[in-house]
Structure 1
Amino acid sequence: MMEFRIGIIPLPIHLILFALIAGFALTGKVPGEISMAIAVLAFFGFSCAELGKRLPLVRNIGAAAIFATFIPSALTYYHVLPKPILTLTTEFTKQTNFLYLFIASIIVGSILSMDRRVLIRGFVKIFVPLACGTVLAMIVGTAVGAALGLGAQHTFLYLVVPIMAGGVGEGAIPLSMGYSQILHLPQGEMFAQVLPPVMLGSLTAIILSGALDMLGKRKPHLTGNGRLQEGETDEMNTASEEITGHVDVTHVAGAGITAITLYLLGLMCARLFGLPAPVSMLFIAVLIKLARAVSPQLQDGAFVVYKFFSTAVTYPLLFAIGVAMTPWDKLIAAFTLANVITIVVTVTTLMGTGYVVARFMKMYPIDTAIVNACHSGQGGTGDVAILTAANRMQLMPFAQIATRIGGAIVITLVLIWLSHVS
């Protein structure tokens, strides 16, 4: 039974945690120490995510992340969660700012652990259709939103940009932080507005990628079945998502403190130049990776750090954000017909442009369009869902570049522009 898990929590431990949390809540005195906070966030975060993972159909479109964020927000709004639990979660989230640690570990760990050759090849092969698709999707999406009465600036900032920001951890969270700092508005409200387009954009990309797979079966000359260009025989295989071999714990710890150091460096850049720290940190990490400034052992340690935080911290963090920083009423207000139409048009334009540009560059249009689709996906989870729907998991390295690097570029340029016009 200890190997039957709710998220990462063994079932017997999950039941014990439930009894303990309920007991503390009934006494009205929930300890405020970090151990209790970790227990509460892990229990509720993984419980909500597990519910999303076990529902048919929707589990393939990122339901775990949706449930881990939306359910706590609704439970808070309707006063279902006990007040001591709400108080503990809110105070811990706001006082510790542990989401900054999460962001640092995810961004630095993922970039440093990427294959440098994949990073270089990805830029060379996919940059043009990705850039063209991004620009055209921004223009068309903003125009459609404005025509539907949403307003050009609102459509651009809160619908179009979040779609291509790179998911939740690497996209919606740092984007909402940047908006909050520049516009002097609560981050929770910003996150509540930028999160729905991330989810709906990923769903649209999954559906369209599945349709492209069907088109590829009917017209084989349009697809390389996982290859971007004709004649390629040395494509990188699917990036490993498992930790293989022995990784010294000192390298893991070293990678962790490296992530924190780069974040602090980004924080200093924010004070000197006004650019949000997570974005500065990401580009510093990319430059370090391209300059071969980290050892292979440290790269392995960075991958372990990335995997730990993405596996063990994402859903507890989303629960904390849902409770402390995501107003349910504002979240629901974002799901309107005009928003949905704008999001679908934006993703379709992004993929369609990649398809057309690829033909001029002698690339396989279907595979290129699918990589472009990952630019509008829900981070790593969205990449997996999109490539699974398209039966092209071989494109994962390029999908990661479209999601991480493409999202970082979009966030950086938009925040620079916003800081100058606001």
Structure 2
Amino acid sequence: MVAKAKKNTLEVADSNKRYFGLSLPVLIGVSIVVLVAAYTGALSADLPGTFALMFVIGIIFNEIGERIPIWNSYIGGGIVLAYLGTAALVYFNLIPQQYVDSINLITGDMDFLTFFIAMLITGSILGLNSQLLVKSIVRYLPAILGGVAGAAILGIIGGLVVGVSPSNAMISYVLPIMGGGNGAGAIPLSQMYEKVTGSPSADYYTFAIAILTIANIFAIIAGGILNKIGESKKNLTGNKSNLMRKADEIEEKEEKASLSMKDYGGAMVLGLSFYALARLFGEYLLPTIGGIAIHSFAYMIVFVALANAFGLIPNDTRQASQAMQSFFTKTMVIVIMVGVGVDTDLSELFAAITFGNVLMALLIVIGAILGSAIVGWLVGFYPIDSAVTAGLCMANRGGSGDIAVLGAADRMGLVSYAQLSSRLGGGMVLVIGSLIFGLFL
């Protein structure tokens, strides 16, 4: 009787288990329907059809990745497998080309990634105490510079080991890795290279994007490792949504608001309106300051932070924005990871994998972690959270890399700081790069 009771209990537990909110039979049924429709060509390549396929691919890889020992603890779990697994499917031509094109259209030309980041920025900043926000942003730039310095030191040391000169280690390795991604880093750096040397920008860009891709993989893996360290060493990390060590002394508890569906809709409109305001300044009113281009997301962070600091947003709308951020973080991130995976060229990565390149990229990422963690600690940050945002989010492929790193590190609440790294930090690296190019090329 006891054994039978235990068996019944297990059966109930299994039947109640959910995979991305679905029971196992429902998930299997949904997956079969979508995949059969896709591989027979019956599934449309429009928004609903493409989203259906992206969700199914992402959920399957995510659920597998969360259950693989070591991988789920140290490599980033399901989020990272969704990214790399999708990239492998594209590399081996296992996704019909029409859906590869439609996924690229949604995440590329239609830029769903930007929509995703805009929602995360709004919710993460409005969720912070205004006093805490001001204090943390003021101290953040030194942490970024600490990461760049650490990357440069270990990059030069690695170069000496594999026979790369210090100047070439900086120009060909450190700058593209720490430049804030592809569009904000590798591309403008290659244009600088062409202007200074007269050689085609493609000569620089081809290698820069390859070494950046290797570093991006290391940064994602490092995010998962740092998260695991934070779980065992609680004093090295905060609550995953702030950087300040003494945040508990500043933050005040807010009364929980009773939210309706319209509150969530209003929060979405608010986030998109902040994005529109940022685009107005970034593309039309004040695209550059002192000759330096200011990215729209940098403006958006400033505007949302000011609105929070001056108490312009009602408490219920702030809480709805936080809830929207949580929804996107826990659900739509799967779609983003599939889109990023489709956009990752594994052949490009494989071509650049040599002992020297891998060692250099690894050392630069480690240097970024150490430099940002040490300086972050000195200015009052938790070292792990500082290393993830001011370090790893400088050493990846920009916006998509930020999401992958934060997902692996389970710190989506820090997306605003990650964007400061990719945008403002990337701009700082471009300034450093122009000086280095002028001196050594």
- TM-score, normalised to structure 2's length? 0.69
- Cα shift at 1:290: 2.8
1:188 to 1:26, Cα distance in 2 relative to 1, 3 A: farther
Q: Is the 8 A contact 1:111 1:286 kept in 2?
A: yes
The structural deviation recorded for 1:131 is 4.8
Whether 1:108 aligns to 2:122 is: yes
Q: 1:322-341 alignment to 2 at 5 Å?
A: 322-323=341-342, 325-341=343-359
Cα deviation, 1:200-237, whole Å, max 9, x if unaligned, reads 135447657978999x9xxxxxx96769xxxx996429
Q: Which range is displaced more, 298-307 or 87-96?
A: 87-96
Distance 2:213 2:276 in 1: 26
- Measured after TM superposition, the shift of residue 48 of structure 1 is 1.5
The structure whose Rg is larger is 2
The CA RMSD over aligned residues, in Å, is 4.6
Q: Is the 8 A contact 1:145 1:339 kept in 2?
A: no
- 276-285 vs 307-316, which deviates more? 276-285
CA shift in 2, pair 1:117/1:24, >3 Å: same
Q: CA deviation at 1:63?
A: 3.5
Instruction: Give the match for residue 61 of structure 2.
Output: 48
1:119 matched residue in structure 2: 133
User: Hey, what does 2:331 align to over in structure 1?
Assistant: 312
Corresponding position of 1:65: 79
Paired residue total: 383
Partner of 1:411: 426
CA distance in 2, matches of 1:161, 1:233: 28
Instruction: Label 1:269 to 1:135 Cα distance change in 2 as closer, same or farther (>3 A).
Output: same
Aligned partner of 2:150 in structure 1 is 137
SS in 2 for 1:29: coil
Match of 1:252 in 2: 264
Q: What does residue range 17-96 of structure 1 map to in structure 2 within 5 Å? A: 17-60=30-73, 61-96=75-110
Q: TM-score, normalised by structure 1?
A: 0.72
Q: Distance in 1 between matches of 2:47 and 2:245?
A: 51
Write the distance in 2 (CA, Å) between the matches of 1:210 and 1:65. Answer: 15
**Post-superposition shift, 1:113?**
1.8
Change beyond 3 A, Cα 1:418–1:285: farther
Match of 2:282 in 1: 270
One-letter amino acid of the structure 1 residue matched with residue 50 of structure 2: A
Counterpart CA distance in 2 for 1:23 and 1:385 is: 31
Which of 275, 285, 288 pairs up with 2:304?
285
2: distance between equivalents of 1:280 and 1:358? Answer: 23
The amino acid of 2:177's aligned partner reads L
Whole-angstrom distance in 2 between the partners of 1:316 and 1:404? 20
1:83–1:362 distance in 2 versus 1, CA, 3 Å: closer
Q: How far 1:53 moved relative to its partner?
A: 1.5
Gap runs ≥5 in structure 1: 163-174, 217-222, 388-395
- Report if the CA contact (8 A) 1:141-1:160 is conserved: no
Distance in 1 of aligned mates of 2:107 and 2:407: 29
- In structure 1, what residue type is equivalent to 2:278? G
Q: Contact 1:130–1:372 at 8 Å: present in 2 too?
A: yes
How many angstroms does 1:328 deviate by?
1.8
Q: Shift of the alpha carbon at 1:47?
A: 1.3
Shift of 1:329: 0.7
Structure 2: segments with no counterpart, 5+ residues:
1-13, 192-200, 239-243, 288-292, 394-401
Task: Give the 3 Å change call, closer, same or farther, for CA 208–154 of structure 1 in structure 2.
Answer: same
The residue identity in structure 2 corresponding to 1:107 is: I
